[in-house]
Structure 1
Amino acid sequence: MVLHWVKYSVTTIVLLAFLAGCALPGNKDSRGSFKGSYYEVQKGDSVYFISYLSDKDVNDIIRYNHLKPPYTIQPGQKLNLWRSVYVAPRFDGTGAGDSQISASPTTKVVRKDTSKPVVESKSGEYVDSSSKPNVNQSVTPSTQNNEKVDRWVWPTRGRVIAKFALGDQGNKGLDIAGQRGQDVSATAAGVVVYAGNALRGYGNLIIIKHNEEYLSAYAHNDRLLITEGQSVKVGQKIASMGSTGTNSVRLHFEIRYKGKPVNPNNYLP
C-alpha cells in the first residue's frame, strides 16, 4: 500500500514538472521582471519588445514614462505599464502627502468630495543618465506614420495546427506547420523593431512595426535573415522556418493592434 502511494506520488510530481516546463505561446514566462504595474528593464530590451511582452500599446508605454526619441531605456529601470494617477494630499492631521499609484482596470481611485485632484504635469521629462552602463536604445524607424496597412499576405504556406483563441491561456495567433528551412515572409511592409531570442518559449523571434497601431510577430524561426531597424516589403523573406523554442517545426504568427493580439484570419486574404 505504501509502495503504491509512493509510486503514484512520484508519477504525479514528474507529470506536474513536465506541464510546468511547457511554455505556451503568449504566456508571461519570459525574461525580465514583469510585476503587473511595471516592468524592470534588462540589457537588450527595447520599448517595442516590452510592448509585445506585456500586451501593452507601445505608445502608451512611451507616454506613461515620458520617454523621448530615440526612447532610450536603462537596465534596471522600472517602466510603468499603467497610467500614473496622482491622489490629492490629505489634510486630516495624518501627515500624508501626495501619493502616486498605477491605475489598472481593477484599480479604483477614491477621492473625497472636498479634495481637489492634482493635475499631472504635461511637461514631465524623462531623465536619461548617461553614466549608467548598458544603455538600451530602441529602434526609431524613419517612417513614423499611421497610414493604413494596404496589403496583408500569409507569412508562410502550411497547415494551421493551432488557431487563434481568446483568454489568458489562449493562443495569441496562428501556428502553421511546415518544413524546416521553408520561407517565412513579412505579412505587410514595415520596419523590424526586434530580432532575437530573449523571450523564452518563442525561440528566434521577429517583430515588425507596420504603423503606429499594428505589429506582427514571427516565432520559432530557424534563421533570421533581417536585422533590427531594417525596412521590409510585403512578402519579403525574413526568416527560415524552424523549431526553436518548441518541439516541432512550425511558425507561430501574431498580429497586434495597439499592443493587443487580434485574430490574423480577420486580416489575411
Structure 2
Amino acid sequence: MQVGINLLCLSGFIEEQHLGQIRRLKELGYDGVEVPVLRGGTDHYAWLGRELDKIGMRRTSTSVIPSSQASPVSSDPEVRAAGRKHLDWAMDCAIALGVESLGGPFHAPIGHFTGSGPTEDELRYGAEAHNAMAERANANGIFLSLEHLNRFETYFLNTMEQARAYVDRVDHPAFRIMYDTFHANIEEQNQPRAIATLGDGLGILHISENDRGIPGRGHINFAEVFAAVRKTGFDGWVTLEAFGAGLPELAAATRVWRPLFPDFETLFAESISFMRRGWAEAAP
C-alpha cells in the first residue's frame, strides 16, 4: 500500500507557500499527496509536478463538478457538453501534474438535487462521459477513482451497491471507485459488507473519520475497514482526508465550522502512524 494525504486540509489551490508542509509530509513517511484540481491551468500543475518530483512525492488528484451548468449527466445537451469540457480540463491538469489517479466526485454537482435518485438517462450520460474519460486516462497511464458521496451532498452515487453497478456500466479497466469511510459511515449499514460488494472496483481508499478529523479519534471501526479492504487483495493508495475550518472556500462546501484537529503536525504525524499500524495489523 501507499500512504497519501488529501491536501485540501491545507488549501484548495496548492502553491509555493505549501511546499514546506509537503516536505514535512515526506519526512514523516508519506508516499504521496492527493492534489486538489479545482481551478488553475496546466502550466501551474506542470510546475507543481516538478516541485513534487524534487521532494520525492508521488501524487494523485481530486476534482469535482463545480456547477449545475457544467454537468456531464444533465438532460440539456449544451450543459452536458460543458460538463464533458470540464472533465477534459481536469484530465489535462492531471496529466500535466503527473498523477497516478484522478479521483473525486466528478459525476454531478455537489449540493445540486433533482428531487429523486439518478434517472436511467443520467446514468447513461454519466457512463458515456466516464468511459471516454477512462479511455483517455488509460492512454496516459492513469486510472480514474470516482468518489461516492452521502445523500446530503449528491443524489447520483451514494452506496457501494450503486457504485458496483456503475463500475459495471462504465465497463473500462481504468475506471474504479474511491471508497470514502466518512460517506460510507452515513450510507452503509455495514462497511465490510459494502467493501466486499465493491470488490475489485476499489481504486483508492479514503480514510476519513466520522467528524472529518484525525482518524482513530472518532467512532468508525477502521480495524474492520482495513481487514475488509485487505481481503479484496487491494494494495494501492490509502489516503487520509481530513478538513479544517480555516479555509472558507472549503468550510462552506464540507460544512466544517469548527477546528477538527489541533494543528497540522498532530494531524500529519498521528494519522500516518494510525494508518500504517492499522494496515499492518489487518494483514491476512
TM-score w.r.t. length of structure 2: 0.23
TM (norm. structure 1) is: 0.24
| Structure with the largest fraction of helix | 2
Larger strand proportion, structure 1 or 2? 1
